[in-house]
Amino acid sequence: MGNLRSRITSWFTRRYFARVQKKGLDLSKIALLPDDVLMPLRRDGLDPVPELGRKRAEEPVSKLPVPFGLNVWLVTGYDEAKAVLGDAKTFSNDFTNLVGKTSARAEDNPGGLGFSDPPVHTRLRKLLTPEFTMRRLARLKPEIETIVNERLDVIAEADGPVDLVEEFALPIPSLVICELLGVPYSDRAEFQHLAVQRFDLFGGAAASLGAISESLEYLLTVVRKERENPGDGLLGMIIKEHGDEIEDRELAGLADGVLTGGFETTASMLSLGALVLLQDREMFKRIHDDDEPVHGFVEELLRYLAVVQVAFPRFAREDVEVGGVTIKQGDMAIVSLSGANRDEKLGQGLEIFDGTRPPMSHLAFGYGVHRCVGAELARMELRAAYPALVRRFPSMRLAVPVEDLEFRKTSAVYSVEKLPILVD
């Protein structure tokens, strides 16, 4: 089993990197969009660029200079972000808002939670939430530990530098989601391929939408197989308990949302969190020596890194005032989670990572009816992975100078491309 897994994961990641290298299309280099539009996605190492903090201080809701006549507001303040995300009556997530305003076509609608509004959203979310209770998730705990340990075994065998992104951060969440959904082993390579395409903003909106429909087609085949013979994973359970309330396409949309939501986000947290540990030796030692600090460490990491840099776009159904600004009916609001998590209103010194900080409110998992359904699963993965990593490799260190690391440039999910380490 271990061998099979390691073959699958190395195949997954080879394809991933082949894609990243082949695509080479960085929106920021095309210079079609004004720099200010991409600013909320840009970082300086782990930190958002200083402009984001300046914007928040001066104008927590500000107009983005988007061409082609679409009014887009950037929301960077914590209270203002909660006002938008917490008001699903006024702000719509519905996919059809994008049609006619972007390259999206009505038939591209991926369904699922992220692009739907109540009452459709409420009905779908009710199907999913029982699969994410602590009781149901508990069944994944030993699986997560096994997956983590198998990855550590692979790293331990390596001769010379190991890329932690390839060997640790990507395979862990991907295999955990396969377990969660009940995707058969034979389908996992295809699964991973689709996962990495989904948050690919480098290829532009059209490329991402193409990936959405490709991934839906694939997931439909998985759903149809489950319909014939439902297993114990999330898909099989929903089919067994609510099979007559949901159509195949809708269920595939739900699975797609779980895949989109749970893979690259957690992978980025694993990579960037490991980088934080490599640079903060005191924290490294605390996590190594003691179980207790890991909860606080993970919460502070979630806040500080805010790897999901912006929430799904929201569209105002009517004129509404947020942070002293009128957002007009039909306007788009982009909520900067990385901006909101560092708002001075929450406390001082939030530009800095402090793993000993008492846990505080943050928006890394969003807020309101669309708040991350997988938050507890993500926490389980992170709380299992970091201590296991530092305990197995106490002398772990970066194999290259930190300045040589290459970070993603304009992706909605921030991350580092590679993280070469030495473990001996």
Question: Which residues of the shown chain bind ligand HEM in the complex (CB under 6 A)?
Answer: 85, 113-114, 125, 177, 180, 257-258, 261-262, 265-266, 269, 307-308, 311-312, 337, 364-366, 370, 372-374, 377-378
DSSP codes of every residue in 348-391: S-TTS--TTSPP----TT--GGGS-TTHHHHHHHHHHHHHHHHH
Residue with smaller CB distance to ligand HEM, 250 or 423: 250
Residue with smaller CB distance to ligand HEM, 165 or 423: 165
Smallest gap from residue 304 Cβ to ligand HEM (A):
12
Query: Which among 48, 113, 84 is positioned nearest to 314, based on CA atoms?
Result: 84
* Long-range pairs, 60-64, Cβ under 8 A, ≥24: 60/323, 60/343, 61/322, 61/323, 61/324, 61/325, 61/327, 62/325, 64/36, 64/37, 64/334
Residue with smaller CB distance to ligand HEM, 62 or 260: 260
Smallest gap from residue 403 Cβ to ligand HEM (A):
26
Terminal-residue alpha carbon distance, the chain = 26
Residue with smaller CB distance to ligand HEM, 161 or 407: 407
Residue with smaller CB distance to ligand HEM, 362 or 423: 362
Residue with smaller CB distance to ligand HEM, 334 or 350: 334
Smallest gap from residue 270 Cβ to ligand HEM (A):
9
β-bridge pairing 91-92 and 332-335:
unpaired
Smallest gap from residue 258 Cβ to ligand HEM (A):
5
Smallest gap from residue 412 Cβ to ligand HEM (A):
10
Give the whole-angstrom CA distance, residue 288 versus residue 285.
5
Continuous segment of H or E residues that includes residue 84:
helix 78-85
Give the whole-angstrom CA distance, residue 239 versus residue 182.
12
Smallest gap from residue 125 Cβ to ligand HEM (A):
5
Continuous segment of H or E residues that includes residue 21:
helix 2-23
Which residue, judged by CB position, is nearest to ligand HEM in the bound state? 374
